[in-house]
Amino acid sequence: MAGIVSYGAYVPLHRLGRSEISKAWGGTGGEGEKAVASYDEDSITMAVAAARDCSKGFDRSKLDGVYFASTTSPYWEKLASATIASAMGLRSDILTADFSGSLRSGTNALKAALDAVTAGSADYILVVAGDARIGIPRSDKEMSFGDAAAAVIVAKEAAAVNVEGRHSVSGELFDFWRPDRDVFVRSAEDRFAREVGYNTVVTDTVRSALNKFRLKPTDIAKVCLYAPDARQLMSTSAAIGFDTKGGQVEESLHNSVGNCGASQSLLMLVCALEKARQGDRLLLVSYGDGCDVLSLVVQKELPKVKGRRGVKMHLETKRNLPSYQKYVLWRELVQVQPASRPPMIPVSPVALLRDRGWGLSLHGSKCKKCGTPQYPMQRVCVICGAQDQYVPYSFADLVGRLTTFSHDNLGAAIDPPSTVCAVDFEGGGRIMCDMTDRDPAQVATGMPVEMVFRKLHYSGGIHNYWWKCSPIRC
Amino acid sequence: MGSIKDRVAIVGMGCTRFGENWYKNSSDMIIEAANEAFQDAGVTKDDIEAAWVGTLWSGDSGQTLAEPLKLPYMPITRVENMCATASDAFRNASYAVAAGIYDRVLVVGFEKLKDSGLSGLPETQVYGTNRLQTQTAPGHFALLATSYFAKYGLSPEEGKRMLGHISVKSHHNGSLNPKAHFQREVTLEQVINAPLVAWPLGLFDCCGVSDGAAAAIITRAELAKQFRPDPVYVKALQICVGQRSGFIRSDYDWTQIRETYEAGRRAYQEAGIKVPREEISMAEVHDCFSITEAVTMEDLQFSVRGGVREDIESGFFDIDGGLPVQPSGGLKCFGHPIGASGLRMLYEMYKQLQGKAEKRQLKNPKLGLTHNLGGFPAGPTISVVIVGR
């Protein structure tokens, strides 16, 4: 039976307190906080982070596909899953597909992956959802939306977590939507959306699903239920017949991450998997233009993988944005005075072609003659001079040490200063890069750093992705 | 390998005022510098047989010199070697003169940067993946400061004091130079407390962006006295080009620049200099940033490794010290019109050696050294030129 063999997640480091949002608009109150993608993050970079987390301890060369789910892909026409596959250094003879258009896209991708492995189109598929929806300023959507990504690897057999049953309904309804020409999500009147949309559809569909699966609410160890907010999570769960007080319902991430769109249901599933015990039956429910219900059984506990962070460790490591203005700057909601620097020359698609297999996955070369790792790839070894005697060498998962740095206020950046760094790696090799997710006052020579996949800039219609170093998250 | 020592002589030089020359374009500055050089040498453009012109971004081809001066059907080469452009133009012209191909050669270096309207220099952008870190000059040279402070145990405050003295010294000299952009003194407190550009470098640790041009007329040594009684002779011309390998090799530590050491070593050998600290009378080095000057003192063997702080703070490099550095005011007071700086440095050495440096005049200088650094510390292009009587 097809199921899940691995999981991972990513929540951005930074949080914005809801009270900061209220304060900005002249109000008080506001509970909890939401996760805010940095100015150098988007749905693709977060998905890569979750995918890397998910594939720790898994041989990536075995992945036969990447299915990416999001309502905020950076491109209308360019396959994000192909970019993710490239950043992960996967084979090229794989299935790549993007699932978009709905908050249900995450489970749509999961269902399609299960179907693919069951049909024999693939042995292992990586399903990753990432969303960075923007709530229009001075709205409840701005308050509730958060950014995050989650990933699972789906396999045909010997899955630790089997997907035993599925039930889906499709629905045509304008409760939350975003047309092609809008940056902000729109919503209908909130009582309409809540009652006719979420509450009715989820309650009816889950009840039908349980009937179909011949299960009662009490058979479920943990319900992972998408919800627009914590209150609706509880009231709808209770209406279905789940025990909202005894921990049967997976905790809402509303006050720690926020409503993270297409990645929400998978993120909650990862939370459940982090704690699940053998024999637990999980119910995964997502909502948006219909409703998906999946019934999963934990056949054997997923092994603890060294270095996997999941959701918990990402929640525990955080830094609060100092103000609402910082959030506005990062999301570029306001036009600000740009740095007095020359306009960026657009990236060359031809140069990117030659870079395939190298820069996006942070592969340099290792000299076969003297063994020195080098980045970028060098045809002539920088140490021994040997020519064209190298093998590709991956730097992405190595730990580095900060050899030297400066905080540069001059360079064009959305949020200066930029921290320019020289990083020297365990095993050899050096990379010059910026540092992200850091408190400038805490940066010191000799500190350990890890490499993270981020967006450098946007110019000429191209989101230019590469890598930066960051303090080790956890 | 041969030596250039005493084979080429400078018989005329010119230099515009450097600064925000809003009302002068490239042609204006070229004409002004060249005119001064022609008058100084007692020649006209009809006497010139060949020319070399240096500019990084402000013109292409030898046409960029022929057009404003209306040079007639002349062999002209445009040279570019980043910040060593002017020095390298001078070097190439000198070899043509030493080879006896041309007897009277014009060298011009110029740059018009202020038309861009930018803060700082543009990054060199080549069509590519643009997958680079933030690459400003201050950011990359600041790495020298971070590493130098760390290696030699300087607290940020101690380091800033050391660097501050450099800029105070240069501003004092610039205040005596009517061709400098900035002609005022600054205090150590002003320098230390200036806004940060790239930590730990502040505004007064960084040279400005400016416009300027300088020119030289050169001939073979044995012909020099036909032009003037006090020619200045070329003693050494060295360029050392790096591989940018410090970006890739883990053994580069940002506390020294090997290319500077090599260029200096070869220049001293070419000029017959055994103890640079004692035999070099004065130097104009590439103080794009104060830390660059500090590290260069050690690389040129003026100070021992780790010892430049003591030399700086004891005033050894001040205008009344044992080895005055930047007697003109340096890049700090002139700014850095890239294609011109090397020749502007030579202009100061030339005037000093002839006793014409006015309020900045050093007592009886014998040998002057100029140094340029193009690119980034982790593998730059270096020029070292030594001239004397």
If pLDDT is split at 50, 70 and 90, which confidence band does A390 have? very high
Verify whether the Cβ–Cβ distance B147 to A410 is below 8 Å.
no
Residue A448 has pLDDT above 80, yes or no: yes
CA–centroid distance for B320 within its chain: 21
Predicted pLDDT at B125: 60
Predicted pLDDT at A308: 96
Q: Is A343 on the interface with B (CB under 8 A)?
A: no
Verify whether the Cβ–Cβ distance A341 to B119 is below 8 Å.
yes
Verify whether the Cβ–Cβ distance B128 to A420 is below 8 Å.
no
Q: Is A464 on the interface with B (CB under 8 A)?
A: yes
Tokens of B124: 């060199």
Contact partners, residue B209, CB within 8 Å, separation at least 6: B113, B114, B118, B119, B120, B121, B335, B336
Rounded to whole angstroms, what are the CA distances from A88 to A84, A92, A362, A471, B239?
A: 6, 11, 9, 21, 44
Q: Is B142 on the interface with A (CB under 8 A)?
A: yes
pLDDT in tens, A90-139: 999 999 999 999 999 999 999 999 999 999 999 999 999 999 999 999 99
Q: How far is A22 from B125, CA to CA, in rounded Å?
A: 43
Which residue type occupies B150? Answer: A
Predicted pLDDT at B371: 98
Predicted pLDDT at B126: 61
- Taking one residue from A and the other from B, the number of pairs with CB-CB distance under 8 angstroms is 142
Instruction: Tally DSSP H helices, then E strands, for chain A.
Output: 12, 22
In the numeric block, the tokens 């910082």 are attached to A326
Distance to chain B for A401, nearest Cα, Å: 11
pLDDT in tens, B310-319: 999 999 999 9
B131 phi/psi in degrees, rounded to 5: -90, 70
Verify whether the Cβ–Cβ distance A432 to B254 is below 8 Å.
no
Q: In 3-state terms, what secondary structure has residue A171?
A: coil
Residue A167's CB is within 10 A of a number of other CB atoms, namely 18
pLDDT along chain B (389 residues), means of 10: 96 98 96 98 98 96 98 98 98 98 98 89 71 83 98 98 98 98 98 98 97 98 98 98 96 98 98 98 98 98 98 98 98 98 98 98 98 96 98
Q: Is B159 on the interface with A (CB under 8 A)?
A: no
What's the whole-model pTM score?
A: 0.95
Q: Give the Cα-Cα-Cα angle A163, A164, A168 (nearest 5 degrees).
A: 85
List the one residue out of B50, B136, B124 whose CA is nearest residue B81.
Answer: B124
Which residue type occupies A256? Answer: S
* Residues of A with Cβ-Cβ distance to B139 under 8 angstroms: 406, 408, 410-411, 418, 420
Q: How far is A312 from A273, CA to CA, in rounded Å?
A: 11
pLDDT in tens, A337-384: 988 888 877 888 999 999 989 999 999 999 999 999 999 999 999 999
Distance to chain B for A417, nearest Cα, Å: 8
ipTM of the complex, rounded to two decimals? 0.93
Q: How far is A211 from A205, CA to CA, in rounded Å?
A: 10
Under 8 Å between Cβ of A34 and A144: yes
Residue A158 has pLDDT above 80, yes or no: no
Q: Is A11 on the interface with B (CB under 8 A)?
A: no
Predicted pLDDT at B212: 98
Verify whether the Cβ–Cβ distance B247 to A430 is below 8 Å.
yes
Provide the terminal-to-terminal Cα distance of chain B, rounded to the nearest Å. 24
pLDDT in tens, A428-447: 999 999 999 999 999 999 99
| B336 is a catalytic site residue | yes
Q: What is the mean pLDDT of residues A217-235?
A: 97
CA–centroid distance for B355 within its chain: 20
